[in-house]
Structure 1
Amino acid sequence: MLRVTVVGAAGYIGGELLRLLLGHPEVEVVGAVSSRFPGKRIDGVHPNLRSVTDLAFCSAEETPKSDAVFLALPHRVAMTQIEQWRSRAGVVLDLTGDFRLDDTEVFRRYYGEEHLAPQLLGDFVPGLPELYRERLRTADLISVPGCMATAAVLALHPLVTHDLIDLERGAQVDARTGSSGSGATAGPANLHAERSGAMRVFAPTRHRHEAEIARHLGLPTAMTATGVEAVRGAQTLCHATLRPGADAKAVRRAFRECYAAEPFVRVVAHQRGIYRYPDPKILLGSNFCDVGFALDEDTGRLSAIGALDNLVKGGAGNAVQCLNVRMGLPETLGLTFPGLHPL
């Protein structure tokens, strides 16, 4: 059994990690670290875990050494604690934004401060199995991408790898996300009275996931992000221009070839129906990312669409998938829940 620790276990991502890891047949959770609730039962904060576990939150000092540690901390905190956790676990999986970029200047531009552990930026392997599976097999430092970045990268990846879009024009990503993306300690903007019924553009320019998309695809990217009334879910609508000669058949072939063997990416290419385009509503609780596209062949304007649960494939589930890859376990182990419908 793999012994694992979750740091930041009282948050939404931490709760999802616990939900998945407690049900994982090859994992034992030996530590659930919370600076806010040490000594309090886990199911007091995560009531969905009632009768699943009798564990209590603990302090960082109380945690034993483990095979892997998941860092579900606030952004800018993981880089201040990374050496502490590297010494306590064989593999570190970071779910914050601290090690998602490999350039200190780009980090400063998007996060507004200097990186405190720049010497480690190049050592983290991106936690996106669909692009980095072979590197993940031997990685001891793994950085899980942001939820909207994951959805956009998986939607655009086939088009870039098959050279179907105009790379010079780049892509415009319009992203939408539910309130859980702001975390369990979000401020006044996430009060029900303020969030209910709102479609709030919170990042009209330079969202930090923009830099991640550009890094993974080598594609100039501009991104906007809007908060919608949903609690869970992220959807990205990625606009690009097809190269001359490319058509819908080539696009469809690229998607199917890229993802034919991927266990958690589904190509949605239906001509009709309520869910003929990727929609996060039917993905909630699952580790799937649905991708699809719409094309205006007269103009060459292409819209690639990605959808996922921001807390699962956009966070905790993707991290567990990376753990499976790294430890040589079946990649789908503990992650086969298909999502709910209707909801």
Structure 2
Amino acid sequence: MKAALIGGTGYGSIELVRFINQHPYLEVGTVVSNSQAGVGFSEIYPHLSNIVDQPLETFNADRLAEENEIVFLATPSGVSSRLVPPLLDRGIKCIDLSGDFRLRSADEYESWYKHSPADEKYLKQATYGLSEIYPEKIKTSSLIANPGCYSTASILGLLPILKTNLAEYESIVIDAKSGVSGSGRGLSLTNHFAEINENLKAYKLGAHQHIPEIEQILSDESGGPIKISFTTHLVPMNRGIMCSIYVKLKETVTTNEVHQIYSEFYKINPFIRIRPEGNVPSTKEVLGSNYCDIGLHVDQRTNRLTIISVIDNLVKGAAGQAIQNVNLQNGWDERTGLIDIPLYP
């Protein structure tokens, strides 16, 4: 199948190219970048020389539908909501890596993202693409809303304990840290070398757009309304997300008992690795891969569970999960094209 990329010059698209290139059933099709149309892909990213050399194109729904079976949209928020409808109407499957179709409520989207929401008709068609939790829905959907990077690490870390009714819902605190690539390739003061190097910043306190996404899914899966305390930090590294999650427990349990809960919950999921008791994951140990590694510790003194969930924000938090969702859509083994050993050191 030919897979088109819209938003071709961003980091998400480059990761998609890397995985599509090693995928036995996919090949890179049309690459769209309105701002760089006519420029060769490998002129912008020289590491793609002799691999993907075609020129970038402007958006044309008819041509995209004629030449491609799948479209990945790695665009800024507020863009894909306009581009997806004509593609769906032409019968092409869409995987949206922006946030335009993640929230069911149009009003909530507008409040958090500060953009006009997608049409209600298309919001209802979207399936939230958290591969491990909604595989059956993903298989039959033509529009996948790929989860946010922070959301992926947070939700995967929390769901098993929330499903047991052991957690005090009002106690959830998520301390999240991301590498600079999470803010995209665009130039800004935020990712200026002199601003981020040897520095640690908290940002968007109480205002991060992934908050309603996390709360929406946790509430759906736990059967009750959940509100979280969520703080994000920017750290001076290229890739990686670590979510340190704290949950007060209703009953006294051991780390070993919680470990068994998580191991059972994810026993059929090849990309979730539950670390042995006493073993805490780091971001380097998932670098470049589609794994989510989870470490667990129950503090007997406070009866609080600490969950450490790590992913590569550009892979499991974006392009890798998008490929995993395409595999599910097409009935392929979900590991297809994604079996990479993490890059280390």
| TM-score, normalised by the number of residues in structure 1 | 0.93
**Larger mean Cα displacement after TM superposition, 308-317 or 37-46:** 37-46
Q: Is the 8 A contact 2:41 2:54 kept in 1?
A: yes
Amino acid at match of 1:44: E
Determine helix, strand or coil for the equivalent of 1:278: coil
Q: Is the 8 A contact 1:102 1:121 kept in 2?
A: yes
**Separation in 1, partners of 2:190, 2:331:** 42
Matched, 1:280 2:283: yes
**Separation in 2, partners of 1:106, 1:37:** 33
**Percentage identity across paired residues of the two chains:** 32
Amino acid at match of 1:78: S
Matched, 1:30 2:29: yes
State the Cα RMSD in Å.
1.6
Matched, 1:92 2:99: no
Q: Is the 8 A contact 1:65 1:89 kept in 2?
A: no
Quote the residue 2:80 is aligned against.
Answer: 78
Gap runs ≥5 in structure 1 = none
**Separation in 1, partners of 2:21, 2:199:** 35
**Separation in 1, partners of 2:182, 2:318:** 10
Gap runs ≥5 in structure 2 = 220-225
Provide Cα deviations, 1:222-281, integer angstroms capped at 9, x if missing partner.
21101000111111111111122433232111110011111111111242xxxx312111
**Separation in 2, partners of 1:279, 1:158:** 20
Quote the residue 2:299 is aligned against.
Answer: 296
Quote the residue 1:42 is aligned against.
Answer: 41
**Larger mean Cα displacement after TM superposition, 112-121 or 72-81:** 112-121
Quote the residue 1:181 is aligned against.
Answer: 182
Displacement of 1:114 in angstroms is 4.0
Q: Is the 8 A contact 2:277 2:296 kept in 1?
A: no
Kindly report which structure 2 residues correspond to 1:212-291, keeping only aligned pairs within 5 A, or say none: 212-218=213-219, 219-271=226-278, 276-291=279-294
Amino acid at match of 1:305: I
Amino acid at match of 1:285: G
User: How many equivalent residue pairs?
Assistant: 336
Matched, 1:158 2:156: no
Determine helix, strand or coil for the equivalent of 1:60: coil
Displacement of 1:143 in angstroms is 0.3
Provide Cα deviations, 1:40-77, integer angstroms capped at 9, x if missing partner.
22222223323323322222235444211000001111
Matched, 1:12 2:11: yes
- Structure 1 segments of 4+ aligned residues over 6 angstroms from their partners: none
**Separation in 1, partners of 2:39, 2:111:** 39
Quote the residue 2:323 is aligned against.
Answer: 320
Amino acid at match of 1:77: V
Quote the residue 1:130 is aligned against.
Answer: 132
